[in-house]
Structure 1
Amino acid sequence: MPYSIAIDGPAGAGKSTIAKAVARELGYVYIDTGAMYRAVGLYCLNNGINTNDESSVVASIKDIDISISYDEEGAQQVFLNGENVSSKIRTQEVGAAASTVSQYQPVRDLLVALQQKLASKTSVVMDGRDIGSKVLPNADTKIYLTASVEERARRRAKELMEKGETCDIREVEKEIEERDYRDMHRENSPLIKVPDAVLIDSSDLTIDETIDSILDIVIKR
């Protein structure tokens, strides 16, 4: 039977980095669900679709094909209508678009079905906002990974600067707070900590310490 690990938490908590490492340690497949929503956001931006116009976004779904594959090193590659967009989806603009389109139920229905199909075939580590609550409610291990807004903003700013992008740390903090509010208050599948999830606050933990904490939880199950 495939084993599933669900990691939920707010933007900038390090979910992707941690989930990738945990999957690598266990020999599981890592699935970045946020990348799928980013692909929808990118499609809308590229095609002049107003992400705040739900009817226009939903109408475009029929023209969107998202698929996932893995390179030789096991890194997830996201394809949008046949094009590898793995690097294009990592901008702040696309992130904001993803946060908006993820509020629409038809978009969620499309991507959740794809995510569940992947998890039914192989052992996975999946991260996102509603994995433990909606996507994999019967996951074997559920983690809620968070960190303070200040620490998440510091990490995100460092990440952007390493990519050569300029940023204002206060602006990044503001964007994270706004993203948290949207994610936690959206009507469809809001970000929540489900009762059976283990809370890990990584504000004062290194990446390795956070990974070890999760592996310890999995081993004890």
Structure 2
Amino acid sequence: MRKITVAVDGPSGSGKSSVSKETARRLGAAYLDTGAMYRAVTWHALDAGTDLSDAEAVAAAVKAADLFISTDPDVERITIHGTDVTEAIREPFVSEAVSAVATNLAARAELVARQRAIIAAHERIVAEGRDITTVVAPDADARILLTASEEARLRRRGLQLGGTQSDAELQAQVLVRDAKDSTVVDFHVAADGVATVDSSEMDFEQTVTAVLEAIKAQAD
């Protein structure tokens, strides 16, 4: 199989993680969840007692993080300094703090460099996040913005969390975080050459099919 890099961007709750992971499986490719990298270094900063309002301290914590992330779409595993944080990074306390790291430009630069290195190390990979199509891998063979309506995104995130969050908590995780992160990167509007897939009225299988078709149209 020939080399291929697929970049997928999108807002919270658009389905980009689950869809990108399944797309990677069907392409026989590796999978990179860059959002999990931001969550992992946020967990690390919090665990180290870093003052998240201190931009220099946050950047230093991110640079010092010994981060491992699995790129096997069938194995979800993330470690920081050898500690398995796969489950911990999905906790509400990390969700509430991650934008402090994601909007830190020095921290972003560090993680972008790591993400580019991971992508370069794989012949075939699907990488997803918020700035993959424009910053991390602007020369990817296929670039896709996966989006959905606000209503659909809130509903999906609620289902993903098993109904454990209130409406206010869901809005904080989805809409408020998007608003904060959009101050440093635009993941709502497709850049030139980026295909848009709107999954608002699609089920999972239809969305995966639409993404695969978009990849074929760009990469062939």
Normalised to the residue count of structure 1, the TM-score between the two structures is 0.90
The answer to whether the 8 A contact 1:30-1:76 is kept is: no
**Corresponding residue of 2:194:** 197
Distance change (3 Å), C-alpha of 1:3 and 1:46: same
**Corresponding residue of 2:108:** 108
**Corresponding residue of 1:54:** 55
- SS of the aligned residue for 1:24 comes to helix
Q: C-alpha distance in 1, partners of 2:168/2:97?
A: 20
Q: C-alpha distance in 2, partners of 1:2/1:121?
A: 11
Of 197, 213, 218, 1:216 maps to 213
Q: Residue 93 of structure 1: CA displacement? A: 2.3
**Corresponding residue of 2:169:** 171
Q: C-alpha distance in 1, partners of 2:212/2:32?
A: 17
Q: C-alpha distance in 2, partners of 1:97/1:174?
A: 11
Distance change (3 Å), C-alpha of 1:121 and 1:3: same
Quote the RMSD (CA, aligned, Å).
Answer: 1.8
The answer to whether the 8 A contact 2:5-2:126 is kept is: yes
Aligned pairs for 1:82-97 (under 5 A) are: 82-97=82-97
Q: Which amino acid aligns with 2:118?
A: L
Q: Residue 190 of structure 1: CA displacement? A: 4.1
Distance change (3 Å), C-alpha of 1:7 and 1:46: same
Q: Which amino acid aligns with 2:146?
A: L
**Corresponding residue of 1:140:** 141
Q: Which amino acid aligns with 2:190?
A: K
Q: Judge which range, 56-65 or 147-156, deviates more.
A: 56-65
Q: C-alpha distance in 1, partners of 2:92/2:192?
A: 31
**Corresponding residue of 2:19:** 18
Q: C-alpha distance in 2, partners of 1:70/1:19?
A: 12
2:77 matches 1:80 = no
The answer to whether the 8 A contact 1:20-1:30 is kept is: yes
Q: C-alpha distance in 1, partners of 2:178/2:61?
A: 26
Q: C-alpha distance in 2, partners of 1:7/1:202?
A: 13
The answer to whether the 8 A contact 1:31-1:127 is kept is: yes
Q: C-alpha distance in 2, partners of 1:94/1:17?
A: 20
The answer to whether the 8 A contact 2:143-2:215 is kept is: no
Q: C-alpha distance in 2, partners of 1:99/1:144?
A: 20
Q: Which amino acid aligns with 2:171?
A: E
Q: Residue 217 of structure 1: CA displacement? A: 1.8
Q: C-alpha distance in 1, partners of 2:60/2:118?
A: 25
- SS of the aligned residue for 1:161 comes to coil
Q: Residue 208 of structure 1: CA displacement? A: 0.4
Q: Residue 24 of structure 1: CA displacement? A: 0.2
Q: C-alpha distance in 1, partners of 2:3/2:107?
A: 26
**Structure 2: unaligned runs, 5 residues or longer:** none
Figure out how many residues of one structure are paired with residues of the other and give that number.
215
- SS of the aligned residue for 1:209 comes to helix
**Corresponding residue of 1:36:** 37
Identity of aligned residues (%): 35
Q: Which amino acid aligns with 2:74?
A: G
1:92-149 Cα deviation digits (max 9, x unpaired): 3212322220111221122111111111122110000000100001011111011112
Q: Which amino acid aligns with 2:203?
A: T
